[in-house]
Amino acid sequence: MMHSAHPVARRGLLIILSSPSGAGKSTLARRLMAWDPSLRFSVSATTRAPRSGEQDGVHYHFLSETDFKGLVAEGAMLEHAHVFGHFYGSPMAPVRTAIEAGSDVLFDIDWQGAQQIRNSALGRHTLSIFILPPSIPELRRRLVTRGQDGPEVIARRMQKSWDEISHWDGYDYVLVNDDVDETFARLATIITAERLRREQQPGLADHVRRLQQEFEEGHG
């Protein structure tokens, strides 16, 4: 009796990409989305008011503070933080729906958010990657070259960057972004391999049961 040799579709991954400002994370995230258009960004929820041109459900899920705190109390937020007087967080429901359909969800969050997701109900489907700069002078050069900030702001960003870097060892993978093409190639390799992790393939158990049945039918 012949059976299909293919297990059912895989589960999606929660892909966390973190780095200090200026290490190239945004460029790598854009390349990932071009490399695999099925990847989707996690849309964060926030209690701040929409800015001009921002759409609810596209740029953010805009919630009242009461509703936001209610979701946190229900355990319906993968991670959340209070920043500059407003709450920000990642709602669990759309992420769960996506990964059960086999789609990967990309998170652009800091080490604290990464830790919360790792400890959440979906933690076992998480892949966390930290991007390091090749050097501190290069990181400073990139921040200065942007031309967006004065010396005081750059000094604050550098301090915050160091705080981020100090948590590098809480991630599954750490890449030094000295050459963006090489770094992207390594990133794509990591994601390709992690998609094949045993627990990301829910159909494997059924496939092995079929193999056992075929073995017993042939050798009974």
**How far is Cα 127 from Cα 198, in angstroms, rounded to an integer?**
14
Residue 3 has pLDDT above 50, yes or no: no
User: Which CATH code is given to the segment(s) 14-42+103-219?
Assistant: 3.40.50.300
Contact 212, 30 (CB under 8 A): no
Q: What is the mean pLDDT of residues 147-175?
A: 91
Q: What residues contact 73, with CB distance under 8 A and at least 6 apart?
A: none
Taking each helix axis as running N to C, give the angle between helix 180-194 and helix 25-35, from 0 to 180 degrees, rounded to the nearest 10: 50
| Tens-place pLDDT, residues 56-115 | 988 899 999 999 999 999 999 999 999 889 999 999 999 999 999 999 999 989 999 999
Q: What are the domain boundaries of the chain?
A: 14-42+103-219
Cα angle value 134/140/146 (rounded, 5°): 110
**How far is Cα 95 from Cα 66, in angstroms, rounded to an integer?**
22
